[in-house]
Amino acid sequence: MNTSLYLGRVRAAVSAARLWALAHKFWAAVIIIFVVWGGSRIYSAATAPSTATRYVTTTVATGTVVATMTETGQVSSSQELSLSPKASGTVTAVYVQPGQTVAAGQLIAQLDATDALQSLANAKLALESQQISYEQAVATSTLALNLLSAENTLSNAQTALQKTHDSTYASLSSMYADFSTLVSNIDNHLHSENVQGRSGQQNLSAFTDLVSQRDPGIVAYSSAAETSYQTAVASYNTALAAYKAASLSSTDDELVALTDTTYQAAKDIATAAKDAHDFFDRVSADYTLYNLTANSTLASLLSASQADTLTINNDLSTVLTLKSNIVSAEQTLAQAEDSLSKAQGGANALTVQQAQLSLQQAEQSVTNAEQTVADYSVYAPFSGTIASVGVKKYDQASSGTAVATLVANQQTVDISVNEVDAANLKIGEKATLTFDALPNIMVAGTVSSINTIGSVSSGVVSYDAIITFDTPAPAVLPGMSATADIVTGTETGLVVPQSAVKTIGTQKYVETFTPPLANSATATGVTSATPPTRVTVTTGLSGDTNVVIESGLTDGTQVVTQTIAGTSGTASTAASAPSIFNAARPSGARTGGGGAAVFRAGGG
């Protein structure tokens, strides 16, 4: 087409439109308003944010979660540690002396753990019983219980308990004869008048006077012997009254109570026998040390008191065994009665689960008893040199007693841990140490000590702990500030980000899509026509960002890590468009048929 002709036609059309607009100003205004309004609506629709919810996801995969805690402290300047037991009791042995070099884990001192060892033995017996019960529950969970076998077991348990009851009473009778003899012996050893040249003076007083000028410490031994003897007499009289009130027809529980009373009397008599022997042993040592004239009475008293000590120690062991036997027989009978009841009532769907729970409780009891036994031993937490020893054999010690002071051969960092973190801190955990003054140095360390006695400041409870350097760091000086990143746990399994796990009450869950959403592992996520599915999960170890899923998910499952809520829009309805015309058109204006305006260039 000829360009001049085309431009001419365009100019003619524009001129005609201008003339029409001048002649029809109202309709020209309406058309302009409609064009502007429509354009703005199209622009708003194109630029408005999405109103749909978007989901960001990730895929469950196998990994390892490392849990850490960060604590601050200072490099120790003294590198000394007071070693104390976690339990209380009589010191039975001290294995070190000042100046001695010890290795990490070396035994320093031992407390009397007789009761704790007996408790451990009982816990192990209970564990064996529960193991048998669990195996029986598993074996019979799919079979009919044998009623006759349960009845026989009950009959045997009743017979065994009766025999144990009778033998316990008989043994106690024999034991009280021992007690009477022992109390009389100790009385004779201490209060008879057998010392040559000391006519009319009791042995305890006579020997004390003979050596006290050279050994003033003998007075304490004499006082201890007399005091423990008086305690033993009172305890024996109390136990004897309880024994006389009992009989062969006493109940099993009454016999158990009598064994407790008898055990207390035996302990007090044992203490009296030991203190009497210690007194005569000290006097004998003084006679030798100071070259005093030999005394034939002293040798016989020392030998007799030693024999008394051996006798009462055997009685102590016997009474513990008696109590253990009757308690065990009672437990066996109770289990037999329970088994018979279950046999009569038929199989119980919860039998295996209950047996498993009882077995777990018994295992935990053994673990606790083993820890209690360990608490009676004091070990060196790290290698070093013994600076001082604070106790000797037969002293009483507790958690506040400094058994020995250990000077470390290694560098350490002292930290203070709040009560929440202290519950997760354990000896042997690894740590990474950094130092404010030495930004380029990083040292590996190990938690070597945790003080179980907390301190309170402004209502906050904290516990002191020590981290030992794994290798020396000469550049690190005492007093430097340190930061310790301690690894408190690691677990390998299916791992998801912590943001994926949600909680309602005590239940934890994640949201999944089946089938998986495509292209959703991005920062902006994607929309979905269907909502995600909620899946209940069990979680394990939680780290800084991730958590282990122990049950509920499988490898490769897609889970939601973030939900981005859409924004509300203000879209207009199609019916709102005519209102513009209605508002702009003056009263009486006419439209063409069907409501459409008809325009012609140059027309009226």
Domain tally for the chain?
4
- 448 in a structural domain: yes
Q: Are residues 454 and 513 in the same domain?
A: no
* Predicted local confidence at residue 579, as pLDDT: 40
Taking residues 301-317, report their average pLDDT.
Answer: 88
Taking residues 385-400, report their average pLDDT.
Answer: 89
CATH number of the domain to which 472 belongs? 2.40.30.170
The better pLDDT of the pair 154, 139 is held by 154
Q: Are residues 509 and 480 in the same domain?
A: no
Last residue of a domain, one of 322, 346, 370: 346
Q: What's the distance, Cα to Cα, between the start and end of the chain in Å?
A: 32
- 511 in a structural domain: yes
- 371 in a structural domain: no
Q: What percent of the chain has pLDDT over 70?
A: 85
Tell me the per-residue pLDDT of 566-594, one tens digit each, with 9 for 90 and over: 765 444 333 333 443 344 444 444 444 44
Give, in degrees to the nearest 5, the angle at Cα 193 between 188 and 199: 175
Q: Are residues 194 and 331 in the same domain?
A: yes
- 118 in a structural domain: no
Residue with tokens 């302009």: 32
Q: How confident is the prediction for the chain on average, in pLDDT?
A: 82
Q: Are residues 451 and 535 in the same domain?
A: no
Q: Which long-range contacts (CB under 8 A, 24 or more apart) does 457-460 make?
A: 460/418
Q: Are residues 340 and 460 in the same domain?
A: no
Domain range for 545: 54-63+494-564
Q: What percent of the chain has pLDDT over 90?
A: 32
Tell me the per-residue pLDDT of 489-516, one tens digit each, with 9 for 90 and over: 889 999 999 899 999 988 899 999 888 8
Query: What one-letter code names the amino acid at 184?
Result: S
Last residue of a domain, one of 491, 526, 555: 491
- What is the pLDDT confidence band of residue 438, given thresholds at 50, 70 and 90? very high
Does residue 405 contact residue 387 with C-beta atoms inside 8 Å? yes
- 357 in a structural domain: no
Last residue of a domain, one of 316, 346, 376: 346
Instruction: Record the pTM.
Output: 0.36
Transcribe 528-590 into DSSP letters.
-SSPPEEEEEEEEEE-SSEEEEEES--TT-EEEEEEEPPPP--PPPGGGHHHHHHHHSPTT--
- 114 in a structural domain: no
Token pair for 590: 């006419």
Q: Are residues 336 and 428 in the same domain?
A: no
Does residue 468 contact residue 445 with C-beta atoms inside 8 Å? yes
Which range has the top average pLDDT, 6-15, 194-203, 209-218? 209-218
- 134 in a structural domain: no
CATH number of the domain to which 226 belongs? 1.20.140
Q: Are residues 98 and 43 in the same domain?
A: no
Q: Examine the pLDDT at 596 and tell me if it is beyond 60.
A: no
CATH number of the domain to which 534 belongs? 2.40.420.20
* Predicted local confidence at residue 45, as pLDDT: 52
- 372 in a structural domain: no
Q: Are residues 510 and 433 in the same domain?
A: no
Q: Are residues 236 and 311 in the same domain?
A: yes
Among 496, 501, 508, CA closest to 556: 496
Among 540, 416, 445, 552, CA closest to 489: 540
What's the rounded Cα separation, in Å, for the pair 101 and 94?
14
Q: Are residues 157 and 224 in the same domain?
A: yes
Q: Are residues 483 and 552 in the same domain?
A: no
Q: Examine the pLDDT at 483 and tell me if it is beyond 90.
A: yes
How many CA atoms lie within 13 Å of 564's alpha carbon, on the beta-carbon side?
16
Q: Are residues 540 and 443 in the same domain?
A: no
* Predicted local confidence at residue 4, as pLDDT: 66
What's the rounded Cα separation, in Å, for the pair 273 and 302?
11
Q: Examine the pLDDT at 109 and tell me if it is beyond 60.
A: yes
Tell me the per-residue pLDDT of 166-180, one tens digit each, with 9 for 90 and over: 888 888 888 888 889
